Amino acid sequence: MKTTQEHIPIAAVKNDICLLKKGGAALILQVPAVNFGLLSEREQAGIIFSFAQLINSLSSTIQICIYSERLNISSYLELLDKARASQTNPLLLKMMGSYRSFIQSTIKENEVLDKKFYLVIPLFSEEVGLKYSEELFWHKVKTVLLPRREQIIRLLGRIGLRAQQLDNQKIIELFYNIYNRENFSQPTQSAPTALKAESAPPLPPPPPPQSPPVISKAPPAQPAVAIATNKAQNHPFVVEELL
């Protein structure tokens, strides 16, 4: 019976690089997501233009992978229960109860998914050669694969995306989660901050009464002076200029 590792095209993971069984290699970048729908039309056009520049500047193949993972937030609900048990303010206790009920009803109706985006940059075996030593292989990685990584990270930065390369441990965890979908990961949630109801600060004393201001007589009005105007010729948004 074949094991799972025999079906995976990866022979080993070394120096944050996936060594492939056919002689090539690949590295994985994790890219954060952008809520495209909340951006303005100008920002959306800028992202589309920058992404088109990234695609047109590529000299090799890349892979864009989206990994959806169902989250188990039962530990987060337990933290909320502990926070409610230690809460003494009735108003905050009621708000925390409503929030917990909202979270529980949401996860019953819809699955809580965490989407992660990855970009795979390969180094094909044809680029390395048919016969090569280990020293030549890592030389190809440094001179071919790593410059591709730097170029793509720089172009993603123009879009506002800060990509990070996965290290050995994160690569192993990623493929373990992919091939063990029954073991859903539990996100690490920080403990909720204890809320305290603060008393309202004392009001400042009213200011002392002041004498009514003295109103002086207004100076006589000066005759209006005519102002000559010329139409602007340089700036398109200026209608008139004062001489």
- pLDDT at res. 148: 93
HSE (side-chain half, CA atoms, 13 Å) at 204: 3
136, part of any domain? yes
- pLDDT at res. 17: 93
Q: Looking at the 3D structure of the chain, how many domains does it have? A: 2
55 pLDDT higher than 50 = yes
Residue 163 is which amino acid? A
Give SS3 for 76. helix
Share of the chain above pLDDT 90, in %: 30
- Is residue 50 located within the same domain as residue 60? yes
- pLDDT at res. 187: 41
41 pLDDT higher than 90 = yes
33, part of any domain? yes
- Is residue 118 located within the same domain as residue 24? yes
- What would the pLDDT profile of 58-106 be if each residue is shown by its tens digit? 888 999 999 988 877 888 888 889 998 988 898 999 999 999 898 888 8
241, part of any domain? no
208, part of any domain? no
86, part of any domain? yes
Residue with more model confidence, 201 or 87: 87
Task: Give me the mean pLDDT over the 36-58 stretch.
Answer: 91
Rounded distance between C-alpha atoms, residue 10 and residue 21, angstroms: 6
Rounded distance between C-alpha atoms, residue 62 and residue 117, angstroms: 13
221, part of any domain? no
- pLDDT at res. 91: 92
- What would the pLDDT profile of 138-182 be if each residue is shown by its tens digit? 888 899 999 999 999 999 998 889 999 999 999 999 998 888 876
For residues 25 and 19, the answer to whether their CB atoms sit within 8 Å is yes
160, part of any domain? yes
Contacts of 152 (CB under 8 A, 6+ apart): 29, 54, 58, 62, 119, 121, 163
- 34 closest CA partner among 133, 160, 147: 160
- pLDDT at res. 5: 74
Share of the chain above pLDDT 70, in %: 73
- Is residue 124 located within the same domain as residue 76? no
- Is residue 84 located within the same domain as residue 143? no
Rounded distance between C-alpha atoms, residue 231 and residue 182, angstroms: 75
230, part of any domain? no
- Whole-number average pLDDT of the chain: 77
- pLDDT at res. 22: 84
Residue 185 is which amino acid? S
212 pLDDT higher than 80 = no
pLDDT band at 211 (very low <50, low <70, confident <90, very high): low
Rounded distance between C-alpha atoms, residue 187 and residue 52, angstroms: 34
- What would the pLDDT profile of 214-232 be if each residue is shown by its tens digit? 544 555 555 444 444 444 4
**Residue that finishes a domain, picked among 179, 212, 230:** 179
- pLDDT at res. 106: 83
Rounded distance between C-alpha atoms, residue 199 and residue 70, angstroms: 42
**Residue 66 forms beta bridges with which residues?**
117
- pLDDT at res. 243: 35
Given the structure tokens 């992404």, which residue do they identify?
51
pLDDT band at 188 (very low <50, low <70, confident <90, very high): very low
Record the tokens describing residue 44, joined without a space: 């959306």
- Is residue 97 located within the same domain as residue 45? no
- pLDDT at res. 120: 95
- Is residue 8 located within the same domain as residue 57? yes
Contacts of 33 (CB under 8 A, 6+ apart): 115, 117
Phi, psi of 28 (to 5 degrees): -120, 130
For residues 25 and 113, the answer to whether their CB atoms sit within 8 Å is no
Q: Which domain holds residue 87?
A: 72-111
